[in-house]
Chains A and B, each alone.
Chain A
């Protein structure tokens, strides 16, 4: 158990809808990264939040947005859902300024877009 929690575990939406996924980092961690994993592929980096700001972003459209709260928890929002957004969404937490900043992953939220 990495100590990272995500909610909900599963979600079904229809095309065009909006979705919000939530992540609570491991105790003591201050940095949250989000990844998308399509079936049969490795996880792909979406973005990372530190000090409530987006610090780095992968190759994802603006439909994907996020937020980090003062308690370091984070949300991932996806607008105008497409069928191709169906995937496992993973949250990983780490500690800035630790020795090697290892990222620890949560169990993921499986999103199905119909």
Chain B
């Protein structure tokens, strides 16, 4: 079973920031938080991952709480092309052989 809990759906206006929450209260000290998204009928796209520090790349920012029990993915200026299912996944460090366990994710709908 997935180790994360996400809201099933969220809406966001184009141009506004989209903040997608994820709860991972049972996360272990050596587990990373990964975010992927899947646009309809395409393969999942890697977005970002982090261990305990906040992370930012060209796609998004990842904010992890100090106790690491939850995190938020931030898309700073959402566009229509950001409409997708977003998956938050917890995965162990140094475990290349471990599978990604996907939950149901959050369906983000961006509208104009």
B68 within 8 A of A: no
Considering the complex, which residues of chain A in the window 55-114 have a beta carbon less than 8 Å from any beta carbon of chain B? 55-56, 58, 88, 90, 92, 94-98, 100-108, 110
**Chain B interface residue number, banded:** 20 to 34
Indicate whether A88 sits within 8 Å of B102 (C-beta atoms), given known contacts A42-B87, A50-B96, A100-B49: no
How many of chain A's residues have a CB under 8 angstroms from any CB in B? 33
B49 near A107 with CB under 8 A, answer no
B45 near A2 with CB under 8 A, answer yes
B14-22, B36-44, B59-67, B72-80 - interface stretch: B36-44
Indicate whether A103 sits within 8 Å of B100 (C-beta atoms), given known contacts A2-B43, A90-B43, A90-B44: yes
30 contacts between A and B (CB under 8 A): A2-B43, A31-B96, A41-B104, A42-B2, A42-B87, A42-B102, A42-B103, A42-B105, A43-B100, A43-B102, A45-B99, A50-B96, A55-B97, A56-B99, A90-B44, A92-B44, A92-B100, A94-B96, A95-B96, A100-B32, A100-B93, A102-B34, A102-B46, A103-B100, A104-B46, A105-B45, A106-B43, A107-B42, A108-B41, A108-B43
Interface residues of chain A, those whose CB is within 8 Å of chain B, are: 2, 4, 31, 33, 35, 41-45, 48, 50, 55-56, 58, 88, 90, 92, 94-98, 100-108, 110
A104 to B104, CA, bound (A): 19
